[in-house]
Structure formats: C-alpha cells, structure tokens
Structure 1
Amino acid sequence: MSEYTMKLDDTTEKHLTLLLFADVENARDVKTKLINGELRCCVLKASLIVDPFQVVVAANKAALKEMHSRLTTKTVFTEILFDLSLSKNITQSLIKFGIDDAERNILVAVIHSLDDKKSIVQKVVSSIKGQQVSIDKLKDYTDLKLVRKTYKIEDTELTVSNLVDSLVSRISTKDFASY
C-alpha cells in the first residue's frame, strides 16, 4: 500500500491521506511552499511517527477544531503538528514535528474531501524530490528512542501498554493532562 487514506469523523466530511517519502532532496523548498500556502498539507518528520493511527488521531482533532473554528494555530495542517506534540507551545510543536531544511524522510498528511484528493495529492507528490515508499515501511524510518524521549515514555509504562496506545492516549488527552 503506497498511501494510507482514512475517513475522519463523519461530521467533518473529510478524509486523511498519508504519503511516505524517503531520500528527500528538497526539504527546504517543500517547507517554503508550506509556509507560503502553496501546498495544502502537513509535512512531518517520519522519525517521530510510529504508526499511521498516531497521525489519524491528531488529524481528526485538528479537523474537528477547524470545523468548530477553534484552531489554536493558523491552519488545520499546523494544528496536526501542534496536536501531535505534548507541548502547548506552538513554535516548539512546529519545530519538533515539522520538517527542517535537511530532513530526508518525511510523512505527508493531507486532509481533503473525496473530490479534492487526486488533485491535492498529485500537487504534493510532484513537489517532493524523493522516493515515495509504501506507508507499510513507516517503522523503518521511526526513531523509537527519540519517540520515547519526545513523549516521555518509560519502560514501566510499556509493561502495561504498547507504544502506539501510549502515544494515542497522550495525543487524545493533551488538552486535559500535563505530562
């Protein structure tokens, strides 16, 4: 499966498509296009994503906030980065989960209606100079040590829960808990 598409909360009438790229040569250009609004997507460091469900939960929160005009950040795409992070500091969240100029392995998240999917995904794919790889390979690009450090997950927690469940719990409860 080269991409991953999932329907978000029914009330949003939106879907999420994830695309994984390796050996990206133009991260700086991609970042510039994101900042200028030329690309309608969220671009994440693949090293911090363990499972697509982690992004689905954050994207669903972001889409619901957008629908209710309650975004903390300026766009639904930066809201995904903010929702993935434990920090309530927007800048820290964007730096931690967003790409930097030297990023080589990226995960692209596109929130779209079914009618817009093809055109948006084509524009994103044509803007990235790198190899699109199957989303099934995501674990090959994940830095588990960095993920555990970022989300403050200790060995003892993993004796009663798996890593994905721990991450999703943190993302889901960010607004109510402090870690």
Structure 2
Amino acid sequence: MTGYVLLLRGVNLGGGTALSMPDLKTVLTGLGYTGVTTVLRSGNAVFEAERAPEPAVIEAALAAGVGLRTRCLVRTEAQLRAVVDGHPFRDVADNGSRMQVYFLESNPTPAQLAEHDPVALDPDRVRVGDHAIYQWCPDGISTAPALLPLLDRKWKILGTARNWNTTTRLLGLLAQRPTA
C-alpha cells in the first residue's frame, strides 16, 4: 500500500464549503482507502491505497456523499517530501505559520511563466518549484500578495495553499505509516 495526502481546496474557510472531518473520513473509507487520518479542519487527510487515487473520483464522492463541491489534489509521500526538500527560504523563514506553499495540479508552461511570473509580485519572497510555489510572508499571509488569483485566472491551474506547519505535519504523518 502507498501512502497519500489529500488536499481539498477552500474547505471550512467560510461560506458553502463546510465539511466535517468525520464526514471526510467516511467518504474516503467508502472509496476503499485505509488508515484514513484527517488533519485540522481544512480538508487534509492522509491515507493508504493500493493504486493511485483519482482526484475526480474523490471530488464526485464528496459531492454525492456530503453535497460538497470542491477540487482536490493528491500527493504521494515522495512528492510531498520533494516539496519540503525544495524549500527555498529555509534560511529566513523562521515561522511556519507565515511560510506558504501553493500546491499545483500541474507546472506552468514557460509561456505562462513569462507572461505572468509570480516572482514578480514579490521578488524576494516568492519562488516557483516543481508543482509548487513557495511564498515567505514575514508580515503575515493576509498582507502578502495573493497568488491563487494568478493561478486561477491567468494560468488556469488548480492550486491550493497550506502553511509550512501543516505541510510538514502531513509529511510526518505519511512517514510514520507502518511499512509493509
């Protein structure tokens, strides 16, 4: 069995995206995933599966099972570890709640990067990685340039953000899984 992390977009941040974590666990277990553990209330889960989960299947099960329409990203332990290992601000980012990672469904094309470069929004604090954008927000996330509108409107790439504390916690949970 392979361990995966599920990242739901925009859950429990307000409005119509409420989801209880027991409901999320029920939906994932109903899809045949095992060892399901939810993390925080923001739509994070760690689980095991025999084959790679399809995000569209999870999205459809959430819509059918609990009436939630949202998008999701799934990452393996190796993929999440690569994001953590690729942290470009480790020398200055001293507060995990102010370090943001935008997980991307796909990488931007060179043309997308040339036309709409997120680094240009904050050259000292934004870097593009593999399937991720890193943003150091020393004055707080709410005062930093917003990157999700760039992803949605300009690149048309699905993305969802997590702070560094959550990202490393998810990786830790994946790493603690018993190996077969």
Q: TM-score, normalised by structure 1?
A: 0.29
Which structure: larger Rg?
Answer: 2
Give 1 or 2: higher strand fraction: 2
